[in-house]
Amino acid sequence: MRVVYPAVLTVTLNAAVDKTYRVEGFCLDRVFRVEAGRVVAGGKGINVARVLHTLGVPVMATGFLGGHNGAFILDSLKQEGIPGDFVWTQGESRVCLAVIDPVAGTQTELNEIGPVIHPEEVWALEQKLAQLLPRFAYVTLSGSAPPGVPADFHARVVRLGHKAGVRVALDSSGDLLKYGVEAVPWMVKPNRAELSAIFGREPADVDEAVQMARRLLAKGIEVVVVTLGKQGAVWVSAEGEWFASPPEVEFVSAVGSGDSMLAAMLYAVIEGMSPPDVLRWGVAAGAANAAVFGAGFCTREQIEALVPRVAVKEKVSSL
């Protein structure tokens, strides 16, 4: 029997043409030949949409696009089978370059800041979101904002989500995260560094990350997931607290691993899984993405193969 899923809307304010190059022995002040490369539609919300689509969840991408790069992004999404409904800007969507050195195990990223967004374009996206949100069960707010976007933009969308009865998952940084949290989204997924935007410092260890997550829960946020890189991730909600350790994989690139994690967690929530299994799927997807070339190009089979290898422990505060 075919399962019909609630649909997800992903919001990417700073979409990009993502270029990933593999260069052995990469360093400064030398000329290199790129051994392998991949050029795709990118930006954190678009990466989320890609993995959701891979997992069979109906999804639409929205946000800002501009210029020739914007046309490439939209065309790439169409080729992948991901619908998009964007606001077009006067500027040019950015390019983000990641250089992977498989020998040294390094990853160097050069990310353009993005086009200047004008007030009328901000207003147009808010109006579009007000129209789109009632059609979806979930919305994700991911990544950075280009110049001109107000710091409280995500907070505004969270409030629009409340009015529309939509669950909002917030995965951002800086002031976008700080103000967004105050609007009380359904879920927030900060990493260790991003927590400093809210609390003024990073957690020293897993226990302190849990304490910070509890403080966010006290604001009314239902689910807080803190990612801790290679250490793993913690889940804190009214149902309990869990810590997940990622499986060992052959590392290729970390670009998009957090986005893959968010997408797989949403899939697991929609499937009605328990919190520890939701966390397990998310960590497995993050690891699967780290083992492939390009953000969000892990397959369902790769994720499923890693799910049983994710170790989940309850009552992380006692670890």
Give the pair of three-digit tokens for residue 303.
């994720």
Cα 54–chain centre separation: 15
Question: Under DSSP, is residue 16 helix (H, G, I), strand (E, B) or coil?
Answer: strand
Assess whether 259 carries a catalytic annotation: yes
Kindly list the distances between the CA atom of residue 4 and the CA atoms of 7, 46, 133, 167, 172, in Å, as whole numbers in the listed order. Answer: 9, 22, 18, 18, 29
Task: Name the token pair of 209.
Answer: 């990350």
The dihedral over CA atoms of 267, 270, 271, 277, expressed in degrees to the nearest 10, equals: 60
Burial class (CB in 10 A: 0-12, 13-18, 19+), 81: exposed
Element (H, E) at 62: strand 59-65
Which candidate in 75, 175, 207, 259 is catalytic? Answer: 259
- Phi, psi (deg, nearest 5) at residue 81: 85, 20
In the chain, which ranges are continuous DSSP H helix? 44-54, 67-80, 119-132, 153-164, 174-182, 196-199, 206-218, 257-270, 275-290, 300-306
User: Which sign, positive or negative, has the C-alpha torsion 217, 282, 98, 80?
Assistant: negative
* Catalytic residue ranges: 259
